[in-house]
Chains A and B, each alone.
Chain A
Amino acid sequence: MAAPSLSFSRPVFAKLSPHPYLLRTLAPQPPSDAAASRTNGRAPQEARPVHIHTSSLSHAHGSALVRTGDTTVICGVRGEVLPVANIPQYRPQATQQQQDDGDERADERGGLGRGELKDYDLLVPNIELATGCAPQFLPGVPPTTLAQTLSTRVYSLLHSCRVVDPKSLRIWYTPPTEVGNNMDTEEQQRQQEEADDGDDGPQLVAYWVLYIDLLFVSLDGNPFDAAWAAVMAALRDTKLPAVRWDPDRQAAVLQNNSQPTTTTATAAAAVPGQGKNSIKTTPLPVAGLPVACTAAVFPEKKHGGESMAASAAATVGNRHWILLDPDRSEETLCGETITMVVDCSSGGGGGETRIKSIEKQGGVVLGRELIRGFAGVAEKRWKEVRDAMQ
């Protein structure tokens, strides 16, 4: 504070040179007695509180709105019926045999169940960063790299965590074996022979495809954590209507709807909001509760500064701070990020924390020890998010 004409207000200083500004708040100079904190007032390892609202969309089968600070994302899950006849590359054997007891074994091998979800694209996440959710998103441009990267990450994680069991997405049809009059029996038999070589066990006729749409209403950093929390909350909220396969129309109809005219293969799923009371629904089983936890590394010296001259002065510029749940202004200053997805729900809380994913890139600060230590931070975050979900 030399000359009054040269002093700036805090927001101006933050805008002009954000890096020194954040550095100064994180490492206050000796005379100042302010505690080390970030420019947004949080401690380095303090995340923003999470608020989760579920079932806020009336026309989706499951939905959730997640807010962490100024990052707001809304997620809608919508199921549509996909008859197997419409899957070009559909192969019956792979799924038919493992219907009963063999199922467990097949799942343990890790092969088939996952293949089904992936081969037929039964989970379709899509992320949209709405125009104006942050200043850099302009109208009328193709999906940004960020949106594409996020949807790949959500897609990969959905499959690698096996959140959704493919078994719960299958729709079966058991041909009636005992029918009143002769005409029908003959017809049934003919149909059966046509359909499945006279095999009268239950047949897999269709799948539920879950369209998981995410929309960022506003984005203030850390999009992945919010997106993933929204996906999990929405999936846990999802209730699929009970459907019955109608072999005559080759379509699924709602089970207790007396007027089947409204419900063709896709329409059955398309009107979840209509007459909600009369339609029987079953909640979608969701395995585990993986929670994503992201942090960014804020270096004292901006990267590359050390390249030419500053290697001698390395002693000064080596400090760094791990900022949990970074906001947008912090993200622009940090190169290195880590996202760890943990699930502490298995084993009744007493069990070992299962890590589902680690993504660390863009820097060399986070070594083995820091990543190990970060698992503890992620566990803490897991508890916060779990509490918010309940």
Chain B
Amino acid sequence: MPREAEPSLNEKQFIVQALGEKLRLDGREFDQYRPLELTFGDQYGVANVTLGKTRVLAKVSAEVTVPYVDRPLDGVFTIATELGPMASPAFEVGRPTETEVLLARLLEKTVRRSGALDTESLCLVAGQKCWSVRVDVHVLAHDGNLIDASCFAVVAALRHFRKPDTSIASGQLTVYTPAEREPVPLSWLHSPFCVTWSFFGDDGETALLDATWAEEQVRVSSCTVSLNRHGEICQIAKLGGVPVEAVALLQCTAVALTKAKEFSTFLDGKLAEDAKRRNKGGFMAELSSENDR
């Protein structure tokens, strides 16, 4: 496969010099994201996220399987990321690149290890049957900041997803089809978001949010902070690169919190909008047997 063409020396210098003059190529502020868009499909659990020219599609699916022997009370939850040649011809099928491994690792730490999804609620019959929830992340177009976009897509898709309803009567498990019973949402505990900073300059003194692909090629270091809107940090990853001052990092996390809050509000709004769209004329509300109390 052809290698991705690196930016030329002139391009690199141009970007760095412009940043020195407090300018970004697309005219954004340093802590400004590109326009973020989120659309849900007709199905439950499909989230289409565009961040500038970066496009990520996340799809959630659920299946009944046998739990792992060492974790009989937990369900199975996996996030699969694969960067195919669609994102760039440099990515090959079945041969993970460094970008892909890092992305998978960060999503794993942010969403799975932080306990965003209650895996115990996925257990159906202890040691015998459980739900296996799988998120597939498809990167359709890669123009920088894949991590933030993918994380947002995964969280959005999982919160939008409904799994089939089940019941257990006299030891016999029944999984209802959507026609028999309305599917139910997952037991969701908190929504973590990734905010990635890119550092530029000799000592990493310039910090940018939401770097584009070109900017990512010339950055000297990067740091991803994952946190939810309550300011609970799930993970911070600064994987090598030029050392950055601790105080600067603190400022970064403070800004990250405001961004996480923005993401959270945006996602809540979109989910409510989608629920409204599905529930035309409040018909489902009428059918619902739940009281308002």
Contacts and interface: CB of A to CB of B under 8 A. Distances in A.
B174 A91 contact: yes
A89 B172 contact: no
A248 interface: no
B129 A88 contact: yes
Contacts of B170: 193-197
B247 to A, nearest CB: 52
Contacts of A88: 63-66, 128-129
Contacts of B129: 88
Interface string B87-103: 00000000000000000
B175 interface: yes
A197 B174 CA distance: 15
Interface string B57-73: 00000011110000000
Interface string B175-193: 1000000000000000000
B175 A89 contact: yes
A91 B175 contact: yes
Interface residues on B, range: 10 to 19
A92 interface: yes
B171 interface: yes
Nearest to A93: B174
Interface in A70-106: 85, 88-93
Contacts of B63: 88-89
Contacts, number: 25
A89 B64 contact: yes
B72 to A, nearest CB: 14
Contacts of A89: 63-64, 175
Sorting the interface of chain A by its residue count into under 10, 10 to 19, 20 to 34 or 35 or more gives: 10 to 19
A86 to B, nearest CB: 8
A90 B174 CA distance: 8
Contacts of A91: 174-175
A92 B170 CA distance: 12
A39 B65 CA distance: 54
A317 to B, nearest CB: 35
Nearest to A85: B128
A228 B175 CA distance: 36
Contacts of A196: 170, 172
B138 to A, nearest CB: 22
B177 to A, nearest CB: 9
Contacts of A197: 169-170
A85 B169 CA distance: 14
A189 to B, nearest CB: 14
A194 B169 CA distance: 10
A205 to B, nearest CB: 12
Contacts of A193: 170
Nearest to A89: B64
A195 B63 CA distance: 24
Contacts of B172: 92, 196
Interface in B15-73: 63-66
Contacts of B169: 197
B213 to A, nearest CB: 33
Contacts of B174: 91-93
Contacts of A93: 174
A88 B172 CA distance: 11
Nearest to A88: B64
A93 B176 CA distance: 11
A348 to B, nearest CB: 41
B132 to A, nearest CB: 9
Contacts of B66: 88
Nearest to A142: B94
A195 B171 CA distance: 7
A194 B175 contact: no
Interface in A84-131: 85, 88-93
A300 to B, nearest CB: 36
7 contacts: A85-B128, A89-B64, A91-B174, A92-B174, A193-B170, A194-B171, A196-B172
Given A88-B128, A92-B174, 7 more contacts: A85-B128, A88-B63, A88-B66, A89-B175, A91-B175, A195-B170, A195-B171
Interface of A: 85, 88-93, 193-197
Interface of B: 63-66, 128-129, 169-175
What 5 A-B pairs are tightest by C-beta distance, nearest first? A88-B64, A89-B64, A88-B129, A88-B65, A197-B170
